[in-house]
Amino acid sequence: MFVAACIFKRHLTHALFLFFIAIVACSPQQKTTQRQFTKQAECIVVTSDSTEVVFDVELATTEYQRTTGLMYRYTMEQNQGMFFIFDRPTPQSFWMKNTYISLDIIFIDENYKIVYIHENAFPLSEIPIICEIPSKYVLELLGGTAKQMNIKVGDVVKITTQGSYPPSLMGDTRGWRHNKKNLDKKGLLKIVALDSSIERLGI
């Protein structure tokens, strides 16, 4: 009787374990909500043959935005991207943690000249992508875009943003100004780089 009870108990425990596994397997898996793209500016890359390639971009100007980047995006159009703005030119290190799409990562110096391009960064990789040349800006595009659009080291980048902006949008606003003369036909604001010694400007 005791042996039979032990066997029954063992089978019952096994059955309950299998039932629990089945419940977990059939339960809907939680998926991180995809972050939606929001156009904040236009980034124009002027290639060596003077072609202007225009991208709609989000701006990453705060520490949180720069750290998060394009994480949790499962799709992105070829004409979209993210433009990172740092306080000062320094060597930069990026990775692809929690990033589900391949990216071209384009490093840009304080004179808006492309100094390094890392093509087709592998999704979810945590291997650092390092640019040792001091960069103040970084443009992330869909993987393969740089080659397809003939974007190369030495090309020049221009950034425009819609309407006016508070100083906090651009982070460190030293060296930046805008006025009505800088509005183009589309109503986009041309951001003009000035010497870094100029004092912080009020908007």
Confidence of residue 162 (pLDDT cuts 50, 70, 90): low
Digit-coded pLDDT (tens) for 30-58: 445 677 899 999 999 999 999 999 999 99
Residue-range definition of the domain harbouring residue 69: 41-193
Digit-coded pLDDT (tens) for 65-83: 999 999 999 999 999 999 9
Position 189 scores a pLDDT of: 40
- Contact assessment for residue 191 and residue 176, using Cβ atoms and an 8 Å cutoff: yes
Phi, psi of 105 (to 5 degrees): -110, 115
96 contacts: CB under 8 Å, gap ≥ 6: 103, 121, 122, 123, 124, 125, 126, 129
Q: How many domains does the chain have?
A: 1
* Mean pLDDT confidence for 19-29: 41
Supply the pTM of this predicted model.
0.67
- 203 within some domain: no
Sheet (strand 41-46) strand order: 114-121, 103-108, 129-142, 80-94, 52-60, 41-46, 156-162, 188-190
Position 32 scores a pLDDT of: 55
Higher pLDDT, 53 or 162: 53
In angstroms, the CA 40 to CA 38 distance is: 6
CATH number of the domain bearing residue 143: 2.60.120.1140
Position 114 scores a pLDDT of: 98
- 8 within some domain: no
- 20 within some domain: no
CA distances in angstroms from 9 to 16, 19, 23, 154, listed in the order given = 11, 15, 21, 74
Higher pLDDT, 68 or 186: 68
- 137 within some domain: yes
Place of tokens 């390639």: 53
